[in-house]
């Protein structure tokens, strides 16, 4: 085996192990959210829009993974997280974006809404700061006009979440604090 071949194999194994860690983070968060009455709105789904197209190899691996939660007591509200692995030049390392969205039309909710609102090209967002917007004017093609009433967002570096205690304190509690 060549050195280049060994490095490629190591890289793929590293990515697989990294995805396993993110999956464990999601499972731990799912458990915490369920105890608080919030269940997954998308089952076990964590990503969408991957390509199988020969002409779109950059989409063969996910840019992000998500968890979106719903609570029958609050049908217009969705809470969720997005782990963004890459995004053009907007991030230097993987980040975890938390969001709480109040929908005018909850049937139009998408697991990518948090992603779309955080990475709105017209806005410069920074980590470790809360953002609240009423009727955001996101020009993203995925979010129709008059679908979202309010959104609250917060993001941190993914590497700052290193334990179950971090998941509870830095993600679960923050999701509960978002207004």
**109-141 confidence digits (pLDDT tens):** 888 999 988 988 777 889 999 999 887 665 554
Residue with tokens 């993987």: 94
Residue 84 has pLDDT above 60, yes or no: yes
What is the structure's pLDDT at 47?
94
- Backbone angles phi and psi of 102, in degrees to 5: -100, 120
Label residue 147 exposed, middle or buried (CB < 10 Å: 0-12, 13-18, 19+): buried
Q: Which domain holds residue 55?
A: 3-177
The domain tally of the chain equals 1
- Backbone angles phi and psi of 29, in degrees to 5: -65, -40
């Amino acid at each position: 085996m060549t050195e280049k071949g060994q490095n490629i194999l190591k890289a793929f194994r590293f990515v697989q192990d990294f995805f396993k860690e993110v999956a464990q983070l999601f499972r731990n968060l799912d458990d915490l959210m369920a105890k608080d009455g919030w269940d997954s709105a998308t089952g076990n789904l964590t990503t969408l829009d991957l390509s199988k197209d020969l002409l779109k190899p950059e989409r063969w691996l996910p840019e992000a993974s998500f968890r979106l939660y719903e609570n029958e007591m609050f049908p217009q509200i969705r809470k969720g997280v997005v782990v963004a692995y890459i995004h053009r030049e907007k991030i230097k390392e993987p980040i975890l974006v938390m969001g709480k969205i109040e929908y005018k039309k909850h049937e139009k909710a998408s697991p990518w809404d948090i992603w779309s609102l955080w990475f709105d090209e017209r806005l410069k967002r920074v980590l470790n700061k809360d953002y609240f917007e009423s009727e955001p004017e996101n020009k993203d093609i995925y979010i129709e006009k008059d679908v979202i009433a309010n959104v609250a967002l917060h993001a941190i570096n993914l590497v700052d979440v290193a334990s179950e205690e971090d998941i509870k304190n830095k993600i679960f509690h923050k999701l509960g604090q978002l207004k």
